Structure 1
């Protein structure tokens, strides 16, 4: 049942809005399950944009199944093939060395240039014969009892059995699903990010090592962390610096980055960091504001014929290193639940998708928040005083996250999830309220509610992450 070459036609017509990693994965997986797919993308042409993106082993498991492994083989030479992540204190001393996951979790991770990886995904979707329309900007979503659809900017009206909003953090579909416009707010952080060749770095003794092979180094300091990676055997370098930022994010999340601003934050750090920043072409830098949204009460419309996935449903912090991976899992699970439900029960398939994905995504989101806080709020004066203190700074590799097979899990649990939904076991409240992740305060406002779900935090969670890392290595 898992990942056949191609299922027979299911009769289910799916419109997917947004051709990012989540949208393309949903299109490929829905096509694989026999659904009739139309993928809409607002941009008129595909451009190789962006910088580094990380796809964990849980996403690698999905990619390995595409084209009999052909997509994975295509990605390998253009992705990061380092041996370890070396974490430093901000002034230079090595805190910890974390071996890369490799095949510890049964599948590879793929970390590389966002645009280059996206081009491979897009080309594979085209090879599969998936209908893709570029320059198709959606301005309206609608649904009734037996169908859903979109209206394009040119006035064209398109209908399907289900519409998937994979349209990112500024999602229009989310407003229809929620019944109100959910405004983003600043997370209190932003990242400077860039990507360029190591040609000039190779000429300086301090930075020459970046050009001598694939490397991954991080530096952590008070409310700041800096990660630098080289790939393609040291030919390209990417670095990101997460820092505090309270600027307004209503109009735009992305601005040109300035070297002088970065140096105000890390100018007295390890000389390697300072030199790397100074040698960065400023025209390649972006200042990206990290927006935050509280967990949504639901990801599906009242009629359960429209749903959202990926950043539209659950934006992730970069420290989770799971945003794209979880979006890909969303696409896989939705394809499976629609397949299992069948054309006559499409709303059941959509509801099962939300039920299967909601709490797992929230748990992964929380890990990102915890990693950021443990790096930014560490006791830097005593960081080097014990093995436990240093080991706690490892980037976690929890088995529950990386061993997960989204397709197999969805197929395994669907019968019981569907039975419970049809029996009304989960009530009529939106899923965030059903699970206790959210609650309503005395004014009826939805707020993050179940502190038991949010726990453990602080030192208890850090120690738990250390134990999970040790378990993974065993």
Structure 2
């Protein structure tokens, strides 16, 4: 077992970049979203040989807002991406939260940086394009238009069948989202997502084109640069923010929805259905929602926590949404996906080519409870808003921003935690991870 000390002695350790292909470990990553690209980038930095397979034939700028907390912001800064990300991100100094009638409940300061690092909130497509370009600039091979039809593993390697080609590596990473085909190899059966009981109408558009700056009910979102407002009511919360100095607007409204998600959970939204949700609310809500030229009706998918994220032979790991989909109220789904990839790259470096299964098992041990605590925080955030009384004030409705979550450094922690996790597995054997007790989740900083 390679220790942190021996890794450091060889000139490779926390914050350092290893020589290309120096680890001898080959990694095959399925999916070029934020989880897959982040895993690929850190794996390249740790000296692994990396191949990424992506099903889309071309990169498309899709989606709306995405948020990365300071726990991952410190990683992006370490990669030298701050100057690229920062100009396209939203810059707000507070969240103004109202009840459904428009009374202000709290004006919560949104410090940035926080716990020594920046958070990044911007258009999903813009940030993804920049991360994709950065991965390619490092020489990472990314094959587009890949149809991965099968995952497999043996005692000595793992791999996939993609476009009819058999591709193998020391370790395979399933970063292909909620519908990951890799889940079958991990679980031994086909599992299906289910409705969380909630859905979101979401939109992203140009404020000037839609007249946001001209309407007396909505121009407050554009007059003083980037702005962040929210409204909460029984089983509903509505968040809207502007970016680019008040030029672009993102809106998301979460509401009860028990629709079947058997085949799909993203549809064109109907404005009349969306506006019914805020009937009788502060008139600014309907005015803001109606500015959107189109809506996406996004059903929030839920899965019970998986018993494991790794295959029986421990050469396949699920990361990001493939392993643990998040509610948007956690504001951590993308960040935890990135943390997954960072941690995996580090432990594979420390373990080395001869100990890949040990590294993968240690990775799960290091990550499992932390991820579940972050998921539960998202559930408690939603319930806090959806069950709040109209006269709730201050911290009772403020978004928690705890240091255990946002002050975390996944790379540093992986170097510190690997040896203990690996030693425990070697001495007592591999055990399925356990869920943390709910009281372990603190919403206090």
TM-score of the alignment, normalized to the shorter chain, above 0.5: yes
2:374 to 348, 354, 364: 364
Give the whole-Å Cα distance in 2 for the aligned partners of 1:5 and 1:343: 18
Alignment of 1:57-136 (within 5 A): 57-66=70-79, 69=80, 71-136=81-146
1:373 alignment counterpart = 383
- 2:177/2:321 contact within 8 Å kept: yes
1:152-197 deviation line (CA, Å, top 9, x unaligned): 1x21110000000001011110111011112111100000000001
1:275-296 deviation line (CA, Å, top 9, x unaligned): 11122212xx100000100110
1:403 aligns with 2:407: yes
TM-score where L is the length of structure 1: 0.89
Q: What SS does the corresponding residue of 1:27 show, helix, strand or coil?
A: helix
2:289 alignment counterpart = 277
Alignment of 1:324-335 (within 5 A): 324-335=334-345
Q: Which consecutive aligned stretches of 4+ in structure 1 deviate over 3 angstroms post-superposition?
A: 5-8
1:145 aligns with 2:183: no
1:158 to 167, 176, 192: 167
Give the whole-Å Cα distance in 2 for the aligned partners of 1:217 and 1:173: 39
- 2:361/2:430 contact within 8 Å kept: no
1:15 alignment counterpart = 28
Alignment of 1:70-469 (within 5 A): 71-152=81-162, 154-199=163-208, 200-212=211-223, 213-282=225-294, 285-380=295-390, 382-383=391-392, 389-424=393-428, 427-431=429-433, 435=434, 437=435, 453-455=437-439, 465=443, 467-468=444-445
Q: What SS does the corresponding residue of 2:114 show, helix, strand or coil?
A: coil
Give the whole-Å Cα distance in 1 for the aligned partners of 2:193 and 2:382: 20
More helix as a share of residues: 1
1:472 alignment counterpart = none
Q: What SS does the corresponding residue of 1:361 show, helix, strand or coil?
A: helix
2:38 to 2, 12, 25: 25
1:211 deviation in Å?
A: 1.8
1:430-462 deviation line (CA, Å, top 9, x unaligned): 22xxx2x2xxxxxxxxxxxx7xx0237xxxx8x
1:325-376 deviation line (CA, Å, top 9, x unaligned): 0000000000000000000101111111101000000000000000000100
- 1:166/1:311 contact within 8 Å kept: yes
Which range moved further: 261-270 or 336-345?
Answer: 261-270
Cα distance change on mapping 1:273 and 1:397 into 2, 3 Å: same
- 2:194/2:261 contact within 8 Å kept: yes
TM-score where L is the length of structure 2: 0.94
Greater relative CO, 1 or 2 (CA 8 Å, sep 6+): 2
1:401-428 deviation line (CA, Å, top 9, x unaligned): 011000000001111111111112xx55
- 1:268/1:274 contact within 8 Å kept: no
Give the whole-Å Cα distance in 1 for the aligned partners of 2:114 and 2:146: 42
Give the whole-Å Cα distance in 2 for the aligned partners of 1:230 and 1:7: 42
Q: What SS does the corresponding residue of 1:201 show, helix, strand or coil?
A: coil
- 1:101/1:397 contact within 8 Å kept: no
Give the whole-Å Cα distance in 2 for the aligned partners of 1:429 and 1:330: 19
1:278-323 deviation line (CA, Å, top 9, x unaligned): 22212xx100000100110000001000110000001000000000
Question: Structure 2: any 5+ residue segments left out of the alignment?
Answer: 1-12
Cα distance change on mapping 1:31 and 1:428 into 2, 3 Å: closer
1:2 deviation in Å?
A: 1.6
Which range moved further: 230-239 or 205-214?
Answer: 205-214
2:69 to 23, 45, 56: 56
- 1:162/1:305 contact within 8 Å kept: yes
1:446 alignment counterpart = none
